[in-house]
């Protein structure tokens, strides 16, 4: 049997160590990563190169790099079953990003909605990295010949660009890159703000009542859900309820694994007060083990650094092969 028929498909994802991660990051990404390792050859990076498109406090960026790695493991990732690494420890990410930027059209990048959004938020720092960020994301993916990329709806445009770049390079130079496919979870892909449920929950939101963070204490989590925006109808229904009710039902479903029909029956005839308290308690219960494991890991920095070193070595081994192949096709002299 050939290697091609026996090899696992490759999956890649990354989380930026900027801001304190939310239940949106947990339900939309982190909680889904563990099961992937049984089916896929997984690479998960702490995407610190992406973080610096916005000014960071260096000490905070260092601390959050450890925190995200600890959260990866606390959320169920086993470093022996996947490749966990810090993006900046693998220089091939930046190297391939430059090469691919020469195969990315200015017009493609100018159409990226996240560039427009972030430019509006950070008008005093519209830097070139903010503009070319999607090329680095393409390099992250294509370096490892990823077949599948777990993403939220807001990243679909970036993945489509990565696919276009891969197709363009393959068409010019012969097959070089695997063209990746998106994987979007059916439930929990988009968790919205508790204060404005028409918008995605964002770790950079300045309204603390809008955001539930993975590491929030239990009483804080429950209080935030009690303050969540719903409406005045007391209608706990996914199809007929407000945006706020649908968002809470999604969160409750993710933590309890109950269907929307089951949730509607459970709260039939009961008010929003009971419902919001139940969602908060389910969320706090669901995060308790993660928080405990996270605390243990953060108390053992030497272990986290050993994971970083081993992950960087494994990631570099794969990434260097891709960069060497690309360099050869471009005509670079290699010594």
Q: What is the CATH number of the domain that holds 287?
A: 1.10.240.10
The whole domain housing 178 covers: 3-184+301-330
Of 98 and 233, the one with more pLDDT: 98
Residue 123 or residue 294, greater confidence: 294
CB atoms within 10 A of CB 292: 11
The DSSP secondary-structure symbol of 22 reads: B
Mean pLDDT over each residue of the chain, to the nearest integer: 90
Return the bridge partners of 192, or none: 200
pLDDT greater than 60 at residue 194: yes
Strand locations in 16-102 (E): 41-46, 83-86
Average pLDDT over residues 228-243: 85
Q: What is the CATH number of the domain that holds 12?
A: 3.40.50.620
The token duo for 67 is 């925190």
Range list of β-strands (E), 131-217: 148-150, 181-183
Q: Is the pLDDT of residue 258 over 50?
A: yes
How far from chain centre, in Å, is Cα 201? 13
In angstroms, the Cα distances linking 120 to 53, 128, 266 are: 14, 15, 43
This prediction's pTM: 0.87
For residues 157 and 244, state if they share a domain: no
Q: Which is it for the CA torsion 286, 287, 290, 292, positive or negative?
A: negative
Q: Does residue 193 form part of some domain?
A: no
Task: Quote the CA–CA distance of 166 and 156 in Å, as a whole number.
Answer: 15
* pLDDT value for 1: 38
- Using CA atoms, how far residue 132 sits from 89, 94, 98, 170, in Å, is 20, 11, 10, 21
Beta strands in the chain (DSSP E): 10-15, 41-46, 83-86, 148-150, 181-183
- How sure is the predictor about 185, in pLDDT bands with cuts at 50, 70 and 90? low
pLDDT, tens digit (0-9, with 9 covering 90-100), for 124-169: 878 888 899 999 999 999 999 999 998 766 778 889 999 999 999 9
268 and 291 part of one domain:
yes
Dihedral sign of CA atoms 199, 201, 206, 207 in order? positive
Q: Tokens for 324?
A: 């060497």
Q: For the chain, how many residues are written?
A: 335
* Co-location of 102 and 233 in the same domain: no
Residues 273 and 323 both lie in one domain: no
CB distance 139 to 169 below 8 Å: no
Percent of the chain clearing pLDDT 70 (strictly above): 96
Q: Do 57 and 147 reside in the same domain of the chain?
A: yes
pLDDT at residue 88 tops 70: yes
Same domain, 90 and 166: yes
What is the tally of structural domains in the chain?
2
Residues 6+ apart with CB under 8 A from 253: 187, 188, 259, 260, 263
In a domain, 149, yes or no: yes
pLDDT-derived band of residue 122, with 50, 70 and 90 as boundaries?
A: confident
Q: Which residues are catalytic?
A: 118, 200, 203
Long-range contacts of 52-60 (CB under 8 A, 24+ apart): 52/129, 53/118, 53/127, 53/129, 53/130, 53/133, 54/18, 54/118, 54/122, 54/125, 54/130, 55/125, 56/18
pLDDT on residue 212: 95
Q: Report the alpha-carbon distance of residue 322 to residue 89 in Å, rounded.
A: 16
């Amino acid at each position: 049997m050939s290697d091609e028929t026996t090899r696992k498909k490759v999956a890649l994802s990354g989380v930026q160590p900027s801001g304190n991660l939310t239940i949106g990051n947990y339900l939309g990404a982190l909680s889904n990563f563990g099961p992937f390792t049984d089916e896929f050859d997984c690479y998960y990076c702490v995407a610190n190169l992406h973080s610096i498109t916005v000014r960071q406090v260096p000490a905070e960026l260092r601390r959050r790099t450890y925190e995200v790695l600890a959260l990866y493991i606390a959320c169920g990732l086993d470093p022996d079953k996947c490749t966990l690494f810090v993006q900046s420890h693998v220089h091939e990410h930046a190297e391939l990003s430059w090469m691919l930027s020469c195969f990315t059209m200015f017009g493609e990048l100018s159409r990226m909605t996240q560039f427009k959004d972030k430019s509006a938020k950070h008008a005093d720092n519209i830097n070139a990295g903010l503009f070319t960020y999607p090329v680095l994301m393409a390099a992250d993916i294509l370096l490892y010949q990823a077949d599948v990329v777990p993403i939220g709806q807001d990243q679909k445009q970036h993945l489509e660009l990565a696919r276009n770049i891969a197709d363009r390079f393959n068409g010019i130079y012969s097959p070089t890159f695997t063209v990746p496919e998106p994987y979007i979870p059916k439930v929990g892909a988009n968790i919205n703000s508790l204060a404005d449920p028409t918008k995605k929950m964002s770790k950079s939101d300045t309204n603390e009542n809008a955001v539930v963070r993975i590491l929030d204490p239990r009483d804080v989590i429950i209080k935030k859900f009690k303050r969540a925006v719903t409406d005045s109808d007391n209608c706990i229904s996914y199809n007929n309820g407000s945006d706020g009710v649908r968002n809470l039902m999604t969160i409750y479903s993710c933590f309890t694994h109950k269907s929307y029909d089951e949730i509607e029956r459970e709260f039939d005839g009961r008010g929003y007060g009971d419902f919001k308290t139940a969602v908060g308690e389910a969320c706090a219960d669901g995060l308790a083990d993660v928080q405990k494991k996270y605390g243990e890991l953060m108390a053992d920095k030497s272990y986290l650094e050993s994971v970083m070193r081993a992950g960087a070595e494994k990631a570099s081994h794969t990434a260097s092969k891709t960069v060497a192949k690309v360099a050869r096709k471009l005509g670079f002299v290699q010594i």
